[in-house]
Amino acid sequence: MKVSPNEPFQIIYSLFQHEYLGYTFESFIVHLDERGKLTYQHQNIAGKNAKDFAKGLDKTDFELIEWMDKMNQDSIVRKWGKKSAKPKEFLSKVFDPEKGDKPLRTFIKKYAEDCRKEILPRLKGKFVFEMGNDGEPAWRQLCVLPEPASVQFHFKRTSENTTYYPTMTFKGEKLPLPDPSAYMICKEPAWFVINNNVYHFENEVDGRKILPFFNKDKVVIPKKLEENYYRNFVASLIESVDGVTAEGFTIVRAEHKPRPVLTLSELPSATKMLPLFNAPNEEEPPRDETGKIVFSLSFKYGKYKFGGESKSTGVVFENDRGDYKFYRIPRQTAEEKNYVVHLQKLGLPVKGVVCSLYKGLAFSWLNENRGSLLNLGFEVSQPDQHDKKYFVGKAVMELEVRENIDWFDIYAKILFGDFEISFKELRKLILRKKVEFKLPNGEIAIIPEA
C-alpha cells in the first residue's frame, strides 16, 4: 500500500482519454504533506479497497468509485469478453474499423457515455484533475462548475444559405469560443472543458450540436441542402432546446391539451377471411387465424399527433412552398402517463405504450370497455394506410325465446353495427375455429371471446 489510511490523504478524480472508450475517469488516493498539499505519492482506489479509506470519503465518493469501476476497461472486458481475454487485445479487435464488431462497439460506446453521464454531475465540489502523459493523476486541476451555463441557438435563413451559431454564457458572461483547446468530455448530454473549467447546461443539450463551434464561429448550410437540414437537424434542436431564435423562418409555440389515441393494428397472419354475406361459393380458409392485435397509444395535441415516447416537447416541420414553419408543442407527460394507468386499470396489459392480445380477446376487451374509453376521452383508430380495416364498433348479442306448447326455442344473433349474424352461422365459424369474417362494407368483424 503506497498511501496509509492512518496518515493525511485526499481522494481525487483524474480524467484521461482512452484509446477506445473516450474520456475516462480513475479515482486515486493521494498522500498529503504537512501543509495539506498533494504529493506525488498516490495509489488507485476501487470498490475492493475503498472501505480502508472510508474516514475520508462521503456517500458521493463511494458512488463515484463504483461508477468508475464499471467504466474501467477491465470491467468492460469481463462484461463482454471471454475470461481469458486481455483488455487491449479484446478492445482492439472490437474497435477495428474494418473487421471489428460494429454492434458491440456501438453498445460499448453507449455504455461508456452512460457512465460519464452518471459520473460528471457527482464531481461537483470534488478534486478533479487532468492526468498527465506520464500517468501523473494530479497533473492539471479542473473546476467542475456547480451552476449550469446557458445556450441560445441562432439561425439566419437567406435566399443564398442558412447560417447557424450558438451563444453560450455563464453567469452572464459569454464563453470564450471558438477555442481550439476546448474539448467535449460527454456528448449526451454536453459536458465540456474551456480554460480548465468544466461546463454543462441546465437542459440536456446534445454536445454534437455545439462541438463545431470549438473551432469556428458559425456553420453555413448551402441552399441545396437546407430542407433536409431543417427537417432533421433544426427540428431536433428546437425539440430539445427552448432557446432558438429564427430569422427567415417561423417558430410557433403552441399549447394544447393531449387527447389519447388508441390505435389497433394487426400482427401478420397468412390466413384468408371467411365471407358470410353474399359469397356462398368462395373458398374457405384452410386453418385458424393465429394473428394478434397490437394496441399502441399516441397523443393528439391540436391537429398534431405524437407517439407515446416520453419526450417533453413535440415539434412539427411544415414547408409551404418554401415558407418554413415549426410548431413547438410542450407535451403534458404527467397527463399522458395517467392515460396509460387508465388503460391498465381497464385490464389492458400496456407496457410503455404498446401491448398485443389475441384477436378474440382484444376485441372482447374493446367491446367491454368502449364506454369507459369514450368517457375518458380516448379515440380508437386504425392505420390509414392499412388495407385491412377492422370493425371497431359495438358488438351486441340479442336473445329471443319462442314458446311452443311443450317446449321453447332460443334464437340468438350478434349485431355488428347495422349487420347481424345468426348464432347458427356463428356456430359454423366457431366449429372451424374461425374468429373473423368480412362484413358487407369490407370491414373485418371479430367474434368476441365469451
pLDDT, tens digit, 9 for 90 and up, residues 243-263: 899 999 999 999 999 999 999
Distances (CA, A) of 422 to 13, 275, 362, 412: 77, 14, 22, 6
β-pair partners for 266: 293
pLDDT in tens, 100-118: 999 999 999 999 999 999 9
The arithmetic mean of pLDDT across residues 210-228, rounded, is 95
Residue 419's pLDDT band, with cuts at 50, 70 and 90, is confident
What pLDDT was estimated at residue 410? 58
Distances (CA, A) of 144 to 10, 59, 121, 125, 194: 17, 18, 9, 7, 11
Q: Is the pLDDT of residue 447 over 80?
A: no
SS in 3 state form for 303-356? Answer: CEEEECCCCCEEEEEEEECCEEEEEEEECCHHHHHHHHHHHHHCCCCCECCEEE
Residue 403's pLDDT band, with cuts at 50, 70 and 90, is low
The arithmetic mean of pLDDT across residues 267-296, rounded, is 55
What pLDDT was estimated at residue 414? 72
The arithmetic mean of pLDDT across residues 409-424, rounded, is 68
What pLDDT was estimated at residue 269? 54
Distances (CA, A) of 421 to 276, 364, 444: 8, 17, 13
Pick the residue with more confidence: 378 or 382?
378
Pick the residue with more confidence: 348 or 442?
348
What pLDDT was estimated at residue 195? 96
Mean pLDDT lowest among 148-157, 268-277, 301-310 = 268-277
Cell of 84: 481469458
pLDDT in tens, 303-336: 999 987 778 899 999 999 999 999 999 999 999 9
Q: Is the pTM of this model over 0.85?
A: no
Please report, to the nearest 10 degrees, the dihedral formed by the alpha carbons of residues 354, 360, 361, 362 taken in order. 30
What pLDDT was estimated at residue 330? 94
Distances (CA, A) of 406 to 403, 411, 412: 8, 17, 20
